[in-house]
Structure 1
Amino acid sequence: MRANVLLLSSVLVVGLLVGACRDGGSTGNDSGSENGGPDASMDGGDGGGGDTPDADGGGTTVSSCDVVRQQGCDAGALCLRGVLEGGGQGNRCFPGECDPVAQDCPTGKKCAYVLQGSARSRLCVPDGTVTAGGVCQSTKTTEGDFYDTCKAGLSCTDQPAADGGTAFVCKKFCHGNEQCTAPGECIEVLRFEGSDELPRVCAEPGPKCELLAQGCASGLGCYPSPTSGPVCVTAGAAEDGTACTYSNDCRPGSACVKDGAGLVCRRLCRSPSGEPGCATGHCEPLQGFTGVGACVP
């Protein structure tokens, strides 16, 4: 399985919204597929994992369903960030047997992502034995199905090990921050082989940084998080003025903000004035980030 991370959205002055994200995975195992580096989990809002209803969704499309509040889907379906049919990511309603956060399976069982052949589904399976933070692995049933050894409510997640390799530990499933314990946030996104669903687990945000100076390691950018401040996460490539959901959908030095009826990438600037400035438009200050704004028309 591969893990990403999303940044939670924050409110800007004059109703603008900012989101950021992070990715954090390395290699995969039987319980998932490889993902890549730090990605946008400071996720963009209540729509998918933050605190502001209209700042979540996915790469280019925002659904009406709400991940954090679990609203907008028919009975028997969950609202999750997921892979869209035309590419990119967004909020989608996914049918399934159970909810990995609510853990609504019968006693003695857990809701887990189960690999059956080439497809993976949320199913009720026998409960595991490994607690949060414990070392886990995949187990294979006599029928050939795979699921992990974590206890109910947890998922076996890859993370960098001290020796430079990869470790697999149990982390808590979440739909929003209320299911996490500080300093953890509902920011890490899991990518499972055989599934378009992108569920989340609680994780700690990335290294601190300065929004206008950037200064993160190669492949990362400095993006705003309302709960953790500016942090280094996997950098996106979306140009300014294009649609986004999370701030690290955007290229380094920009953030995803609400501009009119939609969410678009806008260049960060020094507020109320100074360098970097705005080539066009004006620098609207970001609430909670002193001296930083976004260039808006």
Structure 2
Amino acid sequence: MSRRTPLLLLALAACSLRPHEFTASDATASGTTEPASTSDAAITAAPATGEPTGTSATTTTGEPAPATTTTGVGTSDSTTSNFITPLDGGPPGSECDSYAQDCPEGQKCVPYSGDGDLSWETLGCFDVVPRPDGEGEPCEVFESAVSGKDSCAEGLMCWDVDLDTGTGTCLALCGGSIEEPTCPDPGTFCAIGRVLSLCFPYCDPLAQDCEGGDLCVPNASGWQCILDASGEEGQVFDTCGYLNDCDAGLYCTPPEYGAECDQAGTGCCLPYCDTSLPNTCPGQGQVCIPWYEDGQALPGYENVGLCGVPQA
């Protein structure tokens, strides 16, 4: 199996879930396949209309955080905010602003690691290669996955890098500002972090249409593909602690939503469902609970639901 650069490991939110309102925890870029410290590689999602409520940020230090973690990303304070307090011009030591792309002509402003670990902790200006790769195209990194040096065009960075081949895919860095982020492709949404602010493609949780066996899971502003970390486990009613602990088509939710779940467990893998179809949920007393409240669904996601026992 190929090794990939830190992806989005999503910790199960600690707060309880109310009927018709399932929690999508914020994402953090953490070492899911490499034992590395991520001092500040966190990503949280920018607010958007139809955002699932009750989101909480998580932190990590290279190892998966406990499922009950609610500490604010990049800080030691507890928080439920989707935003990290912005720093003028980026984190300490940053040479540029990734939103403004204010580097000299022929260079681009991208996150990189300046201390030798496998994390991004600052922003710098790096040369744009001749005939650079465009958004969504394959790319390669030079020196390391966190060097800031890659084959992508200005405003893009090489993401989801295979550490064995040094190849990944060009994703757009968020434009606009941290207060009002933008993405050039309407099929993507902006996920904001202290260093990394990237435009991720939407995916379909009902179709599970991610490439390479990745999972389509919720982010506070949309649905995105992440690495499947379930291994041999992650089947219906299995105990889980992270959103990517479950197989494709399943979500790690509190165990009270399934009578067959281990009620002493951290979480339980339950299936997504289509609210427009007859109930096919596998558990006793389960119904297809709408993911979004009425009128709050993202366009195209109106029928997304999750199998669960309704909670009073």
User: What's the TM-score, normalizing by structure 2?
Assistant: 0.48
**Quick check: which one's strand share is greater?**
1
Which structure is richer in relative contact order (CA contacts within 8 A, separation 6 or more)? Answer: 1
User: What's the TM-score, normalizing by structure 1?
Assistant: 0.50
